[in-house]
Structure 1
């Protein structure tokens, strides 16, 4: 079988997106001791949110969707009564984020999940995922789902699968390169060349 190539227009980026889901809470896993707190943020400040979002995924992993939103659109999502925002706080500084979205009835989407570079390799990812699973299934949902893409950390997809999610769909997403329109600095995600 011959493979096919699809052109990506100049000024755009392309990512393969993998969708994952689970239909029941997996058995809790043992997690390492982490010196962190999970802090709930009701109606978080937009500047604080954008800063944490950028520090978790903006530079290394090209998280850009929320950074390109105007204040009203961003507030409509993160201040929605069916969206829960948490931070991972270490020594008074927020070093990770968890966003659970219940806006679709009977479902929870793991909207955003990540840690700053300072927390990678400390066991905080497993610790945070156990909190995510616990909180997601506290509500009467039938499905917990997430998506990740090839612009994210290469550790994300296998981590979600080890955490109990099963892949069920794959798509290609093409978007404006956020480094060319000022949403992200030009030196973001150096592993992805600007074309």
Structure 2
């Protein structure tokens, strides 16, 4: 059964490197951040679903394999996976296809890694990694369906809201 819900999308931008320094990796055994080169689509879908299942992430489900491959394997799009003792704990995708703009297209932590402070480190690392490429601005969006700490975390790293949109969508009723 489907029900309709209302939610707010917040679009954020950053036009200068943040004042916060590049973060040092937490002293956590088995922590590893790797760029996933030409990752299989099933792996990207796994990350997306694992991170987003509790937050109604469904947009990529409508993408064909060809469309997802064209996006994810584009030379200006990079997938970075955070591993914790060998298992994926989170991921981020940077999309630099638009001239002068890098979009943090996807970012999130798995449920098992949430609340350990790793998201703050991963986001800070991604922000500085993006600014190392010399863009004019960074962008990201989040919505009221995402983790409640998502918006404050983006703002903590220097993103500022530039607009909001009210939307509605149908979601599966949970039991």
Specify if TM > 0.5. Answer: yes
Larger radius of gyration: 1
- Trace 1:27-176 onto structure 2 (pairs within 5 A): 27-28=20-21, 30=23, 32-35=26-29, 36-58=31-53, 60-175=54-169
SS across alignment from 1:119: coil
5+ residue gaps, structure 2, are none
Aligned match of 2:11: 19
Whose relative contact order is higher, 1 or 2, with alpha carbons under 8 Å and at least 6 apart? 2
- Computed over aligned residues only, the root mean square deviation of the Cα atoms, in angstroms, reads 1.8
On the 8 A contact 2:12/2:161 being kept in 1, the answer is: yes
TM-score (ref. length: structure 2): 0.90
State the number of aligned residues: 171
Cα gap change, 1:30 to 1:38, in 2 (>3 Å): closer
Tell me the distance in 1 between the aligned counterparts of 2:48 and 2:161: 25
Deviations 1:81-101 (A, max 9, x none): 110001111111112110000
5+ residue gaps, structure 1, are 1-9, 180-185, 191-195
Deviations 1:54-101 (A, max 9, x none): 11112x111111122111111111111110001111111112110000
Tell me the distance in 1 between the aligned counterparts of 2:41 and 2:144: 27
Tell me the distance in 2 between the aligned counterparts of 1:45 and 1:30: 30
Deviation at residue 178 of structure 1 after TM alignment: 5.0
Q: Would you tell me which structure has more helix in proportion to its own residues? A: 2
Deviation at residue 34 of structure 1 after TM alignment: 3.5
